[in-house]
């Protein structure tokens, strides 16, 4: 079943019963009850207006690299943000303005090729600009808060805004955009990232910065398992501890439930070894939490978003 929504000068399709597993890095999960993939902020606003009229639950999907979708799927409307594209480089200021669906790794490579430093650490992050800002994503000592000037956003009720970095409540893997998924947050205060402006340092040697970017990627590829589907790091690091170290010390390296496994190379990764279900992965995450809490009295907090009913 397909529903057409008319926007200014265009038409978008909102489709039903769309399989989501192929849109996630875990390669698991059920269907979206309703699904739309806007290519502009205008189409996004129209999709939100349709959702508001229908009074449906709302879920956002970016690169699909930091989430676990239940086997039962997701009720309501799923908006896939990965087709909101566009990058602008301001050679005068060294600023990059990018739409929410742009892959952050692609921007890191383009910046390096121009001789702009400041995003070398981001080359191995498999997410989009929207996810980068929402999660205050980071790696190897860098994070979004270090270089973000402002974020463009739209509320669920359709009001656009521009928010400066200091207004975003940044802390470790956290921003105010995560209020989106809190059920007690009013729709007018639930904002969706539509773009971001980053400050880099232009004028460098493209060859050297590209080489440094390559080294960052090589480090991630040699210390983290990329040969099987995963979502990246599953748990936040409970300062001053490292989640991977706690899991390893609990004797859980290689532990399996169904076809889901704690990675041997990096214990904070859960792998789909082929044919795993979302429930296999969910039960593995629960088992790791329970074991570490029993042994160390530390409750590991998931970094991965879990969508649907488990």
Verify whether residue 233 is a known catalytic residue: yes
56 contacts: CB under 8 Å, gap ≥ 6 = 33, 34, 75, 76, 77
Residue 160, beta-bridge partner list? 154
In angstroms, the CA 189 to CA 200 distance is 30
106 is catalytic: no
Q: Which of 43, 120, 152, 303 is catalytic?
A: 303
Q: Are strands 160-164 and 148-155 parallel, antiparallel or unpaired?
A: antiparallel
Closest-CA residue to 290 (of 258, 260, 255, 239): 255
Q: Which residues of 175-211 are buried (b: 16+ CB within 10 A; e: fewer)?
A: bbbeebeeeeeeeeebbbbbbbbbbbebebeeeebbe
Q: Write out the E strands in the chain.
A: 2-7, 10-19, 31-36, 58-61, 67-69, 74-80, 87-90, 95-99, 138-139, 142-143, 148-155, 160-164, 191-199, 256-257, 260-262, 270-272, 305-307
Does residue 61 sit in helix, strand or coil? strand
Is the separation of the CB atoms in 90 and 49 below 8 Å? no
Of the residues 82, 102, 165, 173, only one is catalytic, namely: 173
Burial class of residue 251, CB neighbours in 10 A (0-12, 13-18, 19+): exposed
Catalytic residue among 25, 233, 267, 305: 233
Cα–Cα distance measured from residue 12 to residue 15, given in angstroms and rounded to the nearest whole number: 10
Question: Does residue 173 have an active-site annotation?
Answer: yes
Give me the phi and psi of 108, to 5 degrees please.
-60, -45
DSSP per residue over 63-110, as a string? SS-SEEE-TT-EEEEEEE-TT---EEEETTTTEEEEETTSBHHHHHHH
Catalytic residues: 173, 233, 303
């Amino acid at each position: 079943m397909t529903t057409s929504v008319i926007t200014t000068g265009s038409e978008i399709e909102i489709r039903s019963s769309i399989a989501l597993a192929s849109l996630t890095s875990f390669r698991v999960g059920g269907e979206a009850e309703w699904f739309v993939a806007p290519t502009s902020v205008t189409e996004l606003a129209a999709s939100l207006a349709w959702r508001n009229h229908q009074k449906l639950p709302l879920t956002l999907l970016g690169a699909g690299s930091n989430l676990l979708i239940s086997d039962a799927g997701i009720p309501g409307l799923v908006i896939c943000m990965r087709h909101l594209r566009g990058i602008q480089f301001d050679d005068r200021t060294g600023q990059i303005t990018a739409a929410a669906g742009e892959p952050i790794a692609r921007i890191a490579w383009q910046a390096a090729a121009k001789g702009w430093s400041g995003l070398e650490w981001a080359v191995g992050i498999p997410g989009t600009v929207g996810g980068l800002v929402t999660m205050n994503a980071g790696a190897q000592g860098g994070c979004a808060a270090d270089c973000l000037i402002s974020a463009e956003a739209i509320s669920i009720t359709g009001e656009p805004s521009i928010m400066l970095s200091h207004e975003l409540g940044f802390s470790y893997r956290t921003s105010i955009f995560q209020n989106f998924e809190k059920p007690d947050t009013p729709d007018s205060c639930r904002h969706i990232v539509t773009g971001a402006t980053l400050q880099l340092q232009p004028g460098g040697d493209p060859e050297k910065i590209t080489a440094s970017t390559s080294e960052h990627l090589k480090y991630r590829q040699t210390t983290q398992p990329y040969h099987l589907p995963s979502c990246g790091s599953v748990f936040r690091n409970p300062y001053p501890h490292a989640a991977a170290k706690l899991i390893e010390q609990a004797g859980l390296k290689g532990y399996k439930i169904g076809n889901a496994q704690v990675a041997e190379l990096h214990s904070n990764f859960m792998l789909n070894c082929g044919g795993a279900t979302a429930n296999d992965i969910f039960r593995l995450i629960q088992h790791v939490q329970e074991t570490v809490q029993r042994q160390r009295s530390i409750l590991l907090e998931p970094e991965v978003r879990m969508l649907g009913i488990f």
